[in-house]
Amino acid sequence: MRAAGRLILEAILLSVVYGIAHDMVTAHVWVEYFTVHHAKVVESTSPVVMALVWGVLATWWVGALAGIWLWAFATAGSLPRLPIERLRQVMLRGLGGLYISAMLVLGLSYIGLGWIGQGHDIPDLEVRRRALAVGITHMYSYGAGALLILAMGFRALQLRYRAAKVSP
């Protein structure tokens, strides 16, 4: 049971680090995503404060669920249990890939939305472009993050099957 708690705690920590890193970028692109379109939880409009607050609030519980999911897939049944160190590697690789892809989505959606402001010198169009890019990136991260949690569980199961085939 102690190992389960450790894994869940590590999953929460890694999710929060991901959330803060993600929001640190998106809050600097368009802070209004957090200050206007989210519930007011702190008296600040600072992108750094928003990234720290929302990076934690939006991800800690996802990390807890991911940790429970991974623990179940890593230990349930008669297959050899997967060591927590191996699960950590699965989580780090998964979250690293998710972060890189989310930042690519942010950049590509911002570039792709450039046509919105072409031929105009109106600041509102630039704001709209940033808002859409940040919104698209957050929607991508929610969807891809959910799929990643599922995939990490199945990856843990795959690694256990491999370990069972190798074991005498």
pLDDT band at 167 (very low <50, low <70, confident <90, very high): low
Question: Structurally, how many domains does the chain consist of?
Answer: 1
CA distances from 100 to 105, 141, 156, 158 (A): 9, 11, 22, 24
Q: How many CB atoms lie within 10 A of CB 95?
A: 23
- pTM of the prediction? 0.91
The whole-number pLDDT of residue 160 equals 95
Q: Structural domain of residue 15, as residue ranges?
A: 2-166
Q: Is 50 in contact with 27 (CB distance < 8 Å)? A: yes
Q: Is 10 in contact with 86 (CB distance < 8 Å)? A: no
CA–chain centroid gap for 75, Å, is 24
CA distances from 97 to 6, 31, 34, 77 (A): 23, 24, 24, 29
pLDDT tens-digit series, residues 88-125: 999 999 999 999 999 999 999 999 887 665 555 556 78
pLDDT tens-digit series, residues 23-81: 999 999 999 999 999 999 999 999 999 999 999 999 999 999 999 999 999 999 999 99
pLDDT tens-digit series, residues 118-157: 555 556 788 888 999 999 999 999 999 999 999 999 999 9
The whole-number pLDDT of residue 13 equals 98
The whole-number pLDDT of residue 76 equals 94
Burial class (CB in 10 A: 0-12, 13-18, 19+), 151: middle
Distance CA 80, CA 163 (A): 7
- Cβ-count burial 104-139 (b if 16+ within 10 Å, e if not): ebbeebbeebeeebeeeeeeebeeebbbbbbebbbe
